[in-house]
Structure 1
Amino acid sequence: MNATTGSFTPIPREGNNEKIRRARKGLLYFFAMLVPLSILSYVLVSKQTPMSILLLMWSPALASIFARLMLREGSADISLRFGGRQFFKSLPFILLLPVIIGLIAYGTAWATGLVDFVAPDTFIKASPAVTFTGLLLGQMVAGTAIGILTSFGEELGWRGYMLTRLIDARIPAPMLTSGIIWGLWHLPVLFMGLYYSGPNLALSALLFMISCTSMSYIIGRVRMTTGSLWAAVLLHACWNAVIQDVFDAFSQGKNALLWTGESGILVALTLFIAAVLLSLKKMKVRDLSLNR
């Protein structure tokens, strides 16, 4: 693939078949390491072992490193560069998307009285609106920067390895498949009661899968169109910082977790609509071939 124009360079059938075979073998190695490492992490998380969450979030990265070493693939396709003009053009989208999703989903819940808007006890001694704005701006910058430590571990594995191999392996609907796998990987923590969930666990799991699959499409698209893994890392980190540490913190009430949060009805619906709208726009893919 031509990284400058986004056009594909024809590959001989023999070379294409070999690329498919290697991608599928890479996925086999990836999951062979990811599954046991994730199970170990879940066990440690359930026992509240120190650093267990960090190990869990870095499991995809460790699995991808293992697969690369086994196949001697190198690291050129990870795209650890800022992607030039396209990356910087994407920054407003990366930083503002979580805010927009939050204002629509949580704002609807607050305005309709489904969820109470209550300022948490913080060092900012001001009105709830001022406190919210101050924390929001702080999390968009400082929270995102801190969140890179954990989001990089996930993105190095999910969008830095698994997604591109799903595409190269000719797996049907690779973006959808990637999102479903990402969502299923999170579910054990939700079932253990260590993640936000509403009064009905089955409904929460379904809504969480919708949120995860939709968000995975958005993150994957950003990674592919910018040609930079950093775009995916920043969007993932910014989402966690803004949604979990600001919007969730200001949402209280009996039904808060039913309507808001990553397993809430309004967040799942808003993310799904955002993913559908984004999918209607033609995507210019960069740097997806292993033969760079």
Structure 2
Amino acid sequence: MSSRTAAETGFDAVDTRKVGAFLALAFGISWTSAAALYVAGVELQTIAGTVLVVALFMWTPAIAAILVQYRAGGSIRDGCGLRLGRPRWLAVGWLAPLALVAATIGVGALLPGVSITTDYAAFLLDLGLPQAQVEEAIAQLEAFPGPPALLFAVQGLGAGLTINALAALGEELGWRGLLLEELSPLGFWKVSGLTGAVWGLWHAPIILQGHNFPEAPIVGVFVMTAATVAVSPVYTYLTVRAESVLAAAFFHGSFNGLGALSVVYLAGAGNLVTAPVGIAGIGAALLATGACVAHDRVIAAEAVTGGEPLRPFL
């Protein structure tokens, strides 16, 4: 994680043509795919819609990164951080969403009108499941020898290390892979802010189609972007510390697997407030960013959040 020389810092050191080509491809392919889903009348809240979003939308940043890196004659492994890196930090990336989601529930419970609930049946009914399936699911939860939250956590972490990680890698190979490497001369905070803003706006077409915030899709675009900006420093920090994009993929995968727990356990408000990418999630992300900064300044042997250029994939 050594620094580049002072002469190489700032926007002048960024290959803007390469970054522009990557963003044009990532947005062009994904937004075209989202338009196709809309024209085809695909409901994104269904299982089929979710599968199509993963296949046609989530993997477009990776496809764009691979194409741009190939055209530039660079190594995918070196230019996108597709390497083992530091296993200890990969484990941190995998497990950290447990704390982030717990913090989301804690922050949410402090918001006006929001309370903690364990009414699993109400949540399942809100998802549109028929009464018979809800009763079957509740019976399975009651038969579990431990608390349901433990079962949810094990399932979420299992998915975060496997299928969810594979889906998340489609995004992360672009955002915390190629884009992080190319923007690294700007330093930790500028990289995180720009990546978070790009990442949030990239979601706009599927948010407008009801993904995450079906009750308020237009406002949802702004809330989603605020959430990605807030949590982006955490992704950057884990990736730089791990020296591998896999840390971001595991974090993203586990977060996707566990994030719905905030909606399960918080009642009294809609997704704009209680979702892991809602108001509660934004508050938790700011706390997580603070924890990263505290570790960087107090515990780590070498600081990376001071604004100096980054070298994420040594």
Give the TM-score band, short-chain normalised: 0.7 to 0.9
Q: Give 1:97's aligned residue.
A: 96
Shift of 1:103: 1.9
Match of 2:82 among 60, 80, 83: 80
Distance in 1 (CA, whole Å) between partners of 2:74 and 2:185 is 14
Contact conserved, 1:143 with 1:241, CA < 8 A, in 2?
Answer: yes
* Identical pairs, percent: 19
TM-score between both structures, scaled by the size of structure 1:
0.80
Give the aligned residue type for 2:2.
Answer: S
Distance 1:127 1:197, change over 3 A: farther
Deviates more, 1:259-268 or 1:125-134: 125-134
TM-score between both structures, scaled by the size of structure 2:
0.75
Q: Give 1:265's aligned residue.
A: 279
CA deviation digits over 1:12-35, x for unaligned, max 9? x6xx59x96672221122123122
Provide structure 1 residue ranges, at least 5 long, that are not aligned to the other structure. Answer: 1-5
CA deviation digits over 1:131-188, x for unaligned, max 9? 2221212211244311012101101111110122122478981211111100111122
Map 1:1-292 to 2 at 5 A: 6-8=1-3, 10=5, 16=8, 23-46=15-38, 47=40, 48=42, 51-53=51-53, 54-75=55-76, 76-84=78-86, 87-89=87-89, 91=91, 93-107=92-106, 109=108, 114-115=114-115, 116-119=117-120, 120=124, 121=134, 122=137, 124-126=140-142, 130-168=147-185, 173-193=190-210, 195-197=211-213, 199-201=215-217, 203-244=219-260, 246-248=261-263, 250-251=264-265, 253=267, 255-280=269-294, 281-282=296-297, 283-284=303-304, 287-288=311-312
Give the aligned residue type for 1:33.
Answer: L
Give the aligned residue type for 1:255.
Answer: A
Distance in 2 (CA, whole Å) between partners of 1:171 and 1:133 is 35
Shift of 1:203: 4.5
SS at match of 2:140: coil
SS at match of 1:173: helix
Deviates more, 1:34-43 or 1:102-111: 102-111
Distance in 2 (CA, whole Å) between partners of 1:98 and 1:105 is 10
RMSD: 3.2
Q: How many residues align structurally?
A: 275
Distance in 1 (CA, whole Å) between partners of 2:189 and 2:151 is 44
Distance in 1 (CA, whole Å) between partners of 2:207 and 2:62 is 21
Contact conserved, 2:94 with 2:160, CA < 8 A, in 1?
Answer: no
CA deviation digits over 1:193-239, x for unaligned, max 9? 1x222755554333322211122211111111211111111011010
Distance in 2 (CA, whole Å) between partners of 1:107 and 1:205 is 24
Distance in 1 (CA, whole Å) between partners of 2:233 and 2:103 is 19
